[in-house]
Each structure stands twice: as C-alpha cells, then as structure tokens.
Structure 1
Amino acid sequence: MIYALREINQRTPRALPNFTLGYDIYDTCGDVSIAIRATLQLLKNQSDPQMCLVPANFQSVLSEPKTKAVIGERYSEVSIAVARVVALSSVAQISHGSTSEQLSRKLKFPSFLRTISSDEHQTKAISELVRKFNWTAVAIVGSDDEYGKYGSDRLEANLRVMKNICIEFINILPGYFSKNTSQVHKMLNELVDNINKSPAEAIIMFTKDTNVNVIMEAAIKHNLNRTWIASDSWSTSSLISTLPGIEKAGEVFGFISKRNELLTEIKKVNFTVNTTRIFFDSNGDPSLGYDILYWNMTESKKGTSIKTIGEYWPNGKIEIHNDFVGNKSREMVTAYNCSKTCEPGQMLKKQSKRCCHDCVPCAEGEFSAGNGDKCETCGQKKYSSPQRNMCFKKTPEFLDWSDPFIIILSCLQVLGIITTIVFAILFAIYHRTPVVKAVGGYLCFLELFSLLVCFCLAFSFVGKPTAASCMVGLPVFGIAFSLCISCILANLLQILVGFNFDLKIRLWIKKLNQPAAVVIIVSGIQLALCVPWLYFYPPFPYERILKTTILLQCHKGSDKLFIAMLVYNAFWALSCFLFAFKGKQLPDLYKNASLITTSMMLFLIIWILFIPIYISLFGSYKQAIESAAILISSYSILCCHLAPKCYIIIFRKEINNENAITEYIRKHFEQKNLTVVTS
C-alpha cells in the first residue's frame, strides 16, 4: 500500500493532479478497543457529522478533512467496530480481509467496502466442496465473534439443506480461546476428545488463525490425522503451515479469494486486470470467487506447500482437478470408521453415532446387492441366502412318496387293503358257519368295507394337498369309522341277547337288538355332522410360509366340527368298550367281547395320544401322524376283532360248528352248578 501511494504521488504525469496522498498506520493487534482508539485518532479533526444537513451553499469555516479513507481492518470483528465509527463521518472504509456477511448490510455500514468476497459465497463454496468429495459427516468449529459466529451459522444452514450430509457437532469457541488459561486448556481437551471420537470426515474450521493455531498444535500432539477445511482466515497462514509435525494433523483443504497477478497492478488504476474485472456490487462486495487450496505435506522436502487445486465462483460453479476428485471418490471407507459402501448383504444404517452410517447385516428374509443399498424384502415365497446378498425361492414342503416314513406307512396301508380283501373273501366263503355269524353275519361285510375305506383314505394325506384330497381325508374317515363302530355295537348287542339269561336285561337288550337300525342311526348321526362340514366349511389346501420352505397342508375348515367328529366316534368306541367288558363273563366261544374290548381300548388310546402329539408337532409330518392314527385304528379292528375269526376258519375248523358252541356253553354253566337247556 505504501509503495502504491508513493507511485501515485511521484509518477509523472501525476495520477491525481493537485492531490498528495498520505497515510497514518496503526497496529490494532486485532483488538477492538485498540482499533476504536486508533480510528478516533484518525477522525479527531474531521468535520461535524451533521454537516450533511445544512444547505449546499452554506460556506463552512471548518478546514478540509484530512482522512479520506480508512484501509482495514483484517478481522471482521474489528472492521465492524471501526465501520460503526467512520460511518458517522461518512468516511469510506476499505477492508482487504473482513468477510463477514454483516458488513454487506448497507443500512448499518453505508461507507464500508472490501476487496474480498463475502462469507455468504465462502460458506457456499465450502458446502459445495463437501458435496464434491461425497463426504457425509462433517463437524464445524467456529468462534464467538462476527466472523466465526455468522460464518458457522450460514455454513450450518447451507449444509442442512443438502441431502446425505450430516453435521456431527458444532463447537463455538469463546473470544479468549487463544489465551493460555486453565479454562482454555479444558475446552481444548474437550474439543480434541470430540474430534477424536467423531466419525466426521472433515472438520471445518471457521475461525481466526490464532484459534486455529492452538487447535492444530493439539492435533499434532494427539496425532489426530483428520481432514481439515480452512476458511480464508487461515488457509494460507504460514504460522500454521510451518508448525513442526503439521503432517500428523492430517490433510488440509482451504479457500482464499481469487488471486491474480489486488491485483499487483492496481497502480495503473484499472479495475480490469488480465481477464478479471474488478468491481463492487451494491453491497460493496467484489465480484471475485475463491481459489481452492490443498496443503501438500508429502511431496515437498521443504515442508508444507500450498497449491491451488480448483476454484469456486459466486454463481455456484465449482471446479476441481479431475484426478484429485477421482482419487478421493475411490475412497470406499474413510479413516474414521464411517462407511461409504458395504459388502453385499449389508446396508448403511445409523446406529449409535450421530452422523456415521455403519454397515449392518440385512435381517433374515432381506437382501442387499451391495454398495450400502437399503435392504429389501425377499417376499413371502423367497428367502435370503446366508450372505443376505440374494434371494432363493422357497421349496414346497409336503409329505413326499419317497420319504422313508411314508414308504413304511404306504406298505402297511397296502398290506391292510390286501388283508381286508382276503378276510372278505374268507367270510364270503364261510358265511354260513357259526364263526361268521358270531362276528355279525352280514354286518362283518359292512365292517370290512369301512376298514377298506379307512386304509384307502390314509393315502390321501401323502403328496401335494389338493381340494379333493383334503375333503376326503378326515371327514370321510369319520363317516367310515362310525360305520365300523356301529357294526361292532350291533354285534355286541347280538351277543348280549344270545347269552344273557337275566329276563329283565334280556328283554331290554332285545329291544335294542336291531342291527340295521343301530347301524343306520349311529352312522347316520355322524353323517349328519360331516356333510355340513364338507358343504359349509370344507377342508382346503393352504400354504404356511416358513423360513426356507412353504409348508403345504390341509386346513380342517372347522376345528369345532373336526373335534365333534372325533368325540362322537370316541363316545361309541367307549360304549362298545363298556358293553364288551360287561360281556366278557358270558359263554362266548370265539371271545368276541374280549377281542372287541382290546380293539376299542387301542382305538381310544391311539386318539388320546394323537391329540397332544398333533398339537406339539410342526411341519409336514403333522399329516403323517393323522395317517398313522387312521392306520393304527383300522389295524386295531382288523387284527383284534376279525383276524382271530379268520384263524378259526382256517386252522380251528373243529370249533367252527354249532355242536362245539353248544358243548362250550353247557360246560360253562355246569361249572357254575347251573342247568341250562340249549336249542
């Protein structure tokens, strides 16, 4: 500035004829109080501020003011204080370093001008740099002065509106932060601890260089190794860039108003320098943008070299060297454990930390292709791989014919069908013999038919369930087995009538001894229960979605009607059991009552055990248990009630005649000292 003034005064021809420029220089030490005292000293001989209110033709007796302009201050806080004073005398103030947005308010600071851009543009430039490098978590360190406070506020506002950028914390330092006091040491330790624990990818320092110097010394001491963004107040500070061990603090990006070779030719009084036009807008701010700086601490042997890597213009345009952006964009995970991308099967998700997204495994039934993409559901009919990176179709699960347990059941079913048919043929051949009559005569064929149906129904529980297989399963079994029990009940009544000699009991039982009526009534009531079940609430196939499979089963349609069917059959099975147990003392050569007692007891035990097993069991084997219960129930009748009769027909022909029956009855009553007449 001194050189420029000398050139103006001494150059021939003179740039300002009849004028000689002088200067007074005051060192304000960056202190507001000192700056105000210096300003008052400059203005002590200045004209009365009220002079602007007198008529234009009024001849002033006051001397010409000596101070035409004030150059400075550097810090915004000091410039604001000076601007309030010089505005009273309408003295122009031109600052080379004060960037606070407050100074753009012309109603408050009408005579203030500056040769550096407002912080409004600088904060936008910093925000664009954060977005350019794809940083998602940042921290802001400001100061409690006009520069740091308003700059931090504007920076926060700009970052908040940007997508996918989170502010981890904002720390506003007090005005006395650079002083060496115990309170400052405490605040410094807290700040270092916050930075060390923070996942912030960049620390933005929007404060004066004296504060930054204290923080950087602590960063070097604690080897923080962070990425710092410098505001123009310290981006070119040689005091900080030459600190011993500055490379331990990490890397530094900075902003400085565009420099051009103010600018050294200002002596020509030409506001267009090279290709840059210098002018002031309505707020007294210049049209310059910013150079983006990078502190290179590794290439230079002489220490930190500050180089320009890009530029930012007030219209929002930002340019950074492509190779530099490319290198930074390829950083998949930052040094601060803040993930930018994840392995397949993981997603980025906020957890304990405020800004940082951690890689979290997808939940079961979800998948993510990678790159931190959000986990998506596979859907009900698919399941995720163990790595959660893809989905597989769930396989249908049902009772397959190749299952070893089903093969055993199927063999037993086929054996039961064959045995039932063989028994029917034997009974048909020997239908006139006493043993066939003792088992119920024609009723035994109904009984065998019902057992044949039950054995065949057991196949309906195997294979993929269909509407037909579900409907014929349990409902038809209920009807068929009630027909079987009704035949056994009718047979028991015949035995009790034939061998009971108590006249009162005999007459009462004789009235009930109507085989056809007993079969029709007992099985008819069950039919009346099952037909509405099949019509209104028919069993149907349904899918139950499991982790890796889709369980195909038959839904019973109505649990109440299913239970009613079982209870009804159990009631008549219990009745048969009681009647048969009562008839065990009768002179029955073929042991019908004893055998029926055993078969009914097995039936009751099987279905009593079936209920808890069925409730506790899960999966396709649930239907296998139903099939097994039907199979065992059918075999209990076939083996305990009918098989002994076939044995007599084939191997004990000597007792398959009326004489043998008569002799057996006679001996039975003689042992009890009773005389009986048989016919």
Structure 2
Amino acid sequence: MGGADMWVYLCLFICLTWKPSASALNSSYSFTSGAVCQLREQFHLVGMQQEGDIVLGGLFEVNLLTVFPELSFRTEPEQPWCHKFDVEGFQAAQTMAFAIEEINRNPNLLPNVTLGYRIYDNCVKLGVAFRAATSLISGTESSISNLNCSGTPPVLAIVGDPGSTHSIAISNVLGLFRVPMVSFFATCSCLSDRRRYPSFFRTIPSDAFQVRAMVHILKRFGWTWVGLIVSNDDYGINAAQSFHQDISEFGCVAFYEILPKDNDITEIRRIMGVIQRSTSSVVVLFSTASYLLPLMDEVAQQNVTRQWIASEAWSTSPMFLTPRLLPFLKGTLGIAIRRGEIEGLREFLLSLQPDNDPNNGLLKKFWEHMFDCRFKAEEAEIQTEGRVCTGNEDLTATDNAYSDVSELRPSYNVYKAVYALAHALHNLLNCVPGQGPFTGHNCASHHDIQPWQLLHYLQNVNFTTTFGDQVSFDENGDALAIYDIMNFHAMPDGTMRARTVGVIDESQPSDKVLSLDEEKIFWNFKSNSPPRSVCSESCSPGTRKAIKKGRPVCCFDCIACADGEISKTAEEFWSSPEKDQCVLKEVEFLSYEDALGISLSTASLFGACACAGVLAVFAHHRHTPVVRSNNSELSFLILMSLKLCFLCALLFIGQPRLWTCQLRHAVFGISFVLCVSSILVKTMVVVAVFKASRPESQGAMKWFGAPQQRGSVLILTAFQVVICAVWLSTASPAPHKNTQSSKIVFECAVGSMAGFATLLGYIGLLAAVSFLLAFLARNLPDSFNEAKFITFSMLIFCAVWIAFIPAYVSSPGKYADAVEIFAILASSFGLLISIFAPKCYIILLHPERNTKKAIMGQPQAK
C-alpha cells in the first residue's frame, strides 16, 4: 500500500469511526498546517443530485462499459471513462428521483422533512462502483478542518448497487459503520449472511428463492437432465451451488460450464460444443447480460436450438429480444422480477429536460445518446440498444425502453427501496420520547440521525405500495419471494416479446406455489409441446432401474424385475404374473366367512353356551351339598368370567377397527384375571378350610369370610384394569395394514409390546401362584379334593399360554389372531372341564352321591 493510499484509508477511518459526517473523504488526502485534511483529487463520477434535509444515495448501471487508461509511471493516471449508454438503467435512476419527489409532496409521509438524493453511475465496474460508494458516505468537499466529523453523514443510506459482486464489496465496508444499503437487483444468496452483511437489504428475492422457482418449473415438465451455464461472478457461482443442491432431489446436471470473464471466443466455442454434444434438451442460464451476449451470438451463428431457462438477470432484457436471435431464443422460459405499476412515472420521465437541470450529468448523457441516435438515423434506419430509431421521433416515441412503464421490474424495486427507507425514517422521526428502542428507551436525535439508528427501523418496516404489494424484510434482510414466469413469443411483425405466463409465490401453500398457464406457452419445437429431457427413458413394464457406475443417478439401465416387483413403487399393489402391470393385493384378515373363522367363532359360542348351561345347573341345584361345599359364590363368579373369556374371542374375528383393537385385549385381560383370581381365592379357601379342621387352627377361617373373598378378587382384578388403562392411554392398539408381502395383512398393531407383555405376565403370575398353592394342597383328604381339580386346571392353563408365545410370534397374518383365539378357547375349556365337569357329573348323573355324607366320605346307609 502506497503512502497516498495510506492517508486515504487513515482519513476515512478517522472520520467514519469517530462519527460519519457531511465532510469526509473520497480520494487521497494530505494533512496541512492547522489540522486540515486536504483533498488531492476528485474522482470523476457521473451522476445527479438534489439537496434536502436528509440525503439518500444511489448507485445505478447507466453505462455498460468502462475503459481504464493504460497505467504509466511517467504521467499522472487518467480517470476511467464510461460508454454504451443503458436506457433501462437510466430509467431506474430516474425512478429513484421520482419516488423522492413524490414523497416530498406527500403530507402524510415525512411531513416537514425534505428528502434529497445523490445518484452515481457505477458503469458496471467494481472499481467505479466502490469509488462512488465511498464518495456517497464520506462526501466530496475539497478540505476538512473539523476532524471531529460531527453532524449528519452525507447520505444516511444507499439505494443499490444492482450488481451482486459490487454489493458484496461495498457492503463489507458499509457494514462496519452500519450504513443501510437497499439493493434492487443484487440477488446473490451469500448476501443473506447477516453476520457478514449486517446492513444489507434488498427488495428483490435472493438467488436461493430464484433457484427454487426454477426447480418448480423443471419438476412441472419432468425435466431431470439439465445443463447449467453460469457467469463467472458471485451471482452465477453462488446460484450454481444452490442449483446443484436443489436439483439433486429429483434430477441431475448434465453439464456445468462457467462463462469466461474476458469473452474469450475460443472458450465460448468450447462451451457451445458441450451444449451440442449433450443429450440434454434443457439448459439453465444463470448469467448477467454482459456475460451471456457473446454466447448467444455463437448460438445464432451455429444455429443451436435448446429449451433455455433464463434467470431474472436477462429474462426481460431487450438486448436478447431481437429479430436476429428470435429463431433460437423464442420459447425461452424465464424467471422475472415481479412487475409493478407506478402512477405518474411516465409523465415524469417525459418531462425531463437538460435545460431544467444543467448539473444532471446522467440526463445530459441521455440526451447526447438520443441525439447520436437521431443523427445516425438521418441516413439510414438503425437499431440501437434493442430499439429502432428513425430520426424523426419526439421523446415520447423515440425510446420505448425509457418511456415504457408497462413492464416495470427493476424500476419498481427501486421505487419500493426508496419508500422502505422513507417509512423507516418516518417511524424514526415519530418516536415517542421515553419509549424509544435505544439505550435508556431513548429516541434518535432529529438533528443528528445516524445510519445505525435508521438500520433498526428499516429492519422492522412493513407497508403496502399503491400497487398492492407488501414490502417487509425477514431477519436476513430479504424481501418476500414472488416471481413472474416469462416466455419469449415470436410476434407477427418478426419481433420477439417476453410475456407473462405464470407466477411463483413462495408465500402460498406448497401445492399452490407454482401457477402456470400452459396454454399460453410457446415452444420452439416442431411439436409445439414441451421437450423431453432425461438421461435415460423410464423403464418399460417388467423392468427396473440399475444405476450406471460412474454416471449420475439419472442415467441407468433397465433390468428385469424380481418376483413381486415392478418399476413403480406401490405398496398396496403387486405385480401381475407377467410383471407388466400392478394388481391390487389381496386384503387378508380373519373373517367370519373363512372356514377358520367359522370354526373358531362356533367353538367360542359353544363354550359360552356351555358356561351358561353349567351356571344354570349350579343355580338350580344351589342348595345341594356338591354346590354348597365348593363355595357357590366363587363358582358362579368363575363361570361368569369364563363366559366372558369365550365371548371375547369373537372380538379377534372380523375386519380390525379402532374400537375392536382397543377392546379385544382389554376384555381378554380383565376376563382372565377375574377368572384366575377367583380360582386363586378359591384355592386359598380350600387350604384354609383344611387347616380350620385342626384344633390348633380353629381361627383360620375368620380371615377368609365372604367379604374378604370378594375384596381379594376385586383388588386383584383392579390391578389389571389399571394396566389396560395405562396401555390404552399411552400406546393404544390400532388397525394396521402390513404391505410387506404379496398380500395386505389387515391386523391390529399392539401399540406397545411392553403393555401387551405386562397384561399377559400378570395373568401368568396369578396362574402360577394358583398352581403352586393347589399343588401343595393336592394331598389333602378326599373330602377336600377340590385342590386336585384346580391343580389339573392350572396345569392345562399354564401349558397352553406357554405354548402360545412362540406360536404367536411365528404365525403370519391372520393366523396370529387364530393362535391367540385358540389359546383363549383352549385355556377356557380346560378350566371349565377340569373344575366343573366332575361336579356336573355327580349332579346330573349320580344324584345319589350328592349328599353331605358322600361329600364327607362317610359310608351311605342302606
């Protein structure tokens, strides 16, 4: 770094660090006596300005090319100069001036405050743009004697720069001092990084949204094999990164090329060769117009036709809507900035005269451009900057690109950017003392507004334009994402126009983000229909994809499908024997129409009837010794619970529904616990009665009276009720379609295997305790042989349910339900027969043995 440059940065650092002011630096300064910072030389910048109480800066692309003179160390360096006037950029700059004048006339927005502007041309060159930006924030006064740099800065905020690379470089500096910068055209997604660019905002969506918009279009037409060409700048490179990520979800990039910075014709032709050799019919172009024009010239020379997808940087540029490119670019689909309308702008543009504003350098260059066009047109009709001038028009008809306000896109974003700053200033000036957002609830001083204070209000701005669009910024300073979809149409007069054929609005629900009128789209193909763009065609019926090694996933071979497979994924379908179509899988569940279902339901009903019959016999002979000696109350309770056990098996048959899935296991678990707990209490009573017959245990029966028996059964059953309630409330069983096999198995998923295991485990615990007690009491005298029957019944019960577990786990589909029903019926029949069959035998077939003496084992009198 040279000595002069060191003083430049030192002066900038002192002024901007202490307090940005109206007097600072924009080139090399030197210190003289009296502590004065002296300007050595002015930057040569073309612009326009208007004074005001508060001044806003602006950076626009008014000239497209910049020439830097050759550097020589023998002479003083010359200033760069710009040429190739861009009417659309000039219109955007004038839109800023119009918006400020409109705000100054509005009594409801910034009353008693006059806005001014200072606008410079960046000449599409970073060096010029950076010089202009530093001039805006530091001022252009020839000398500074007040090194305290007090007062309001030269500009509080900057509208622009339109270029992403320019915005990155400038925002790195402005962010240090929290000077707001609102771009109307910089779309690089990298600028959404709030840590690197804390003061950057934009009224155009970032490239991340633009890429997603393009991906929506590609998905809509099934284009999975796509070429990608980008400009060699931040705009193109960052967009390419986002595009690679987004398209990987459904497609592949056929080729990826970067346009050369220096328009190298050899490199351009190499890229053209890649396009022509590729099997991709669709090419996405993320590029600025200046990078893309040489490639399009080569497209025209080599007569190449593709389905071009245009980024917003060139989708509406008149530079490409020319008859020369019409045969190759018609049918192009593009993403465009949202179109808007600004009332009164056309009249303002047509009223501009250089005599009214002699210091307006941009307006002067515009009229020189107009005069040059007319002068050349005196001899022949020529085409300039995408328009035709004939030499005899007035300003209204001469330049449509300037006076046409029917397709305002970048200019409309400029308009929104100016109004965003105005609304932020309005909110700042209307701050109520003591309720401000700054330290101590203070407000900004009206006489010394600082950029960082405006930044706070800009982040929270929210308003609606006269056109009806909402303007606000998210936490990254990005605007709401909404785009128009453009299509290049060939007109009857041989020209080409970009027409709106749809909208992409990210604020809409996912299924309504893309709104496209396909009937309005013109396709540049013989069929006048969307082209096919896939690396490999879809596999024919009966075959499936096999990825090619070393190739993208979109490129594959087709091989024969295995049994039960087809080339499409369909869980509820199975392949036909020929493997060429889907057929609905058979739905399988244990139904009442199946032979197995009929058999099990018949057995269930028979068991329930048998329980009812035994209950009727016991009720009729309830006063006989056989019934009375076996604790008739518990016997009735066992019979009722067994009847429920038989009937609950019916819940396992039929199409699973939510209520049957929940009820079947709850009823099953509670019924069996009620039965087994009754048997357990019955066993304990038998043991107690035997002990009570001994002299030393005369008081044992007082603990096993009828109330105690009922209470014990109730408590043991209540535990199972709690288990079922917890299970059903936390992970309830529910119907489930198992589609993993050739049939759809309609079954009840248990929800929680732990809940099911706890339910079965509790039943098993009670059964095991009953079995042990009965087994220990098996050698009691014959008069108390009830224990032998209970032992045998519990032995059958435990054997059945131990065998159930492996059988249930290994049974497929409906047979799992059948196994569970069989276990329920087998164990229920085992209990019914083992406990009650001997008693019914005596009651019904040998009533002579149904006496007290016979029960007590005493000989009968003859």
TM-score, scaled to structure 2: 0.36
Q: TM-score, normalised by structure 1?
A: 0.45
Structure with the bigger RCO (C-alpha within 8 Å, sep 6+) is 2
